[in-house]
Amino acid sequence: MVFGRRRRADEPRKGAEANAEPAEAAAEEAPAEEAPAEAGSEGRGPWDSEDSFPEMQRLDFGSLQVPVVEGLGFQVNFEPTRVDEQGNPLEGRPVAILVQYGESAMQLQAFAAPKRSGIWEEVRRETARDIQEEAKGQIQEGDGPFGPELLAMVPAALTEEVLAEMPQEVREQIPAEFIEQGWAPQIIRFLGVDGPRWFLQAVVQGAAIEDEEQWQVLEDVLRGVVVHRGDAPMPPRELLELKIPKEFTEAGQTEQQEGEESVETFNPFERGPEITEVR
């Protein structure tokens, strides 16, 4: 099964958002079936906060420090921690960072991992099973610049609401048969990096699946990420805590919109960057 992306190992997931949260925690002492890729190997990131990593401008999200380069936008996704009687979110916690570039997006999440083994091999296997059994999608495994990875093709809904929100030039490129059947195939790329007591997952969507120029920007961002695990004991697969960078809170403008997922957005290269908080 080939999805059509030109890929070479040495050159290289809320459309619908990818949300590939790992499943239940594995035992910390469980041996890995394959040697995990090492963060910072060959002098290339992602990096552990204890490493000697190259200095560059980064946004501090607490457990993740993400490089800032021209053209990037950032969004923080939240999950509700308290809701009202109607189920509307009242409070939430940040759970993922979305790095946006051009028509591409890369979601970043970091998790605790066992001391003696990585978890990407197991998470990858579970993600592939979920895509096939629950999303009725197809998967293709391969090797990329960060080691083993997954390429998934899943059906994405093309409702009238989704189509209405699409730019005209994008909508015109959708084959008529997809619109008639109400769905279109969506390609999602899952990458993982096992670090010292942490696991970093990147989920890529959009033009970077095929466009090498846009992918190269996101790859460089991923290589520049610094993960701060901390010393507190945590069970494997627990999400490392994220926080909102001061650049977001200092942007100075907050908007609220009803009935959508909670997010905060920030473009470091726009004058007067805007925070959007949607509840």
pLDDT, tens only, 233-275: 999 999 999 999 887 766 544 443 433 444 455 443 332 222 2
Instruction: Give the separation between CA 31 and CA 18, rounded to whole angstroms.
Output: 28
Average pLDDT, the chain: 77
Q: Are 166 and 103 in contact (CB under 8 A)?
A: no
Instruction: Give the separation between CA 142 and CA 215, rounded to whole angstroms.
Output: 17
* pTM, entire model: 0.74
pLDDT, tens only, 90-123: 788 899 999 999 999 999 999 999 988 899 999 9
**Which pair of tokens denotes residue 163?**
């189509």
Q: What is the reported pLDDT for 83? A: 80
Q: What is the reported pLDDT for 44? A: 81
Q: Are 38 and 184 in contact (CB under 8 A)?
A: no
Residue % of the chain over a pLDDT of 90 = 51
Instruction: Give the separation between CA 69 and CA 172, rounded to whole angstroms.
Output: 31
Q: Are 48 and 196 in contact (CB under 8 A)?
A: yes
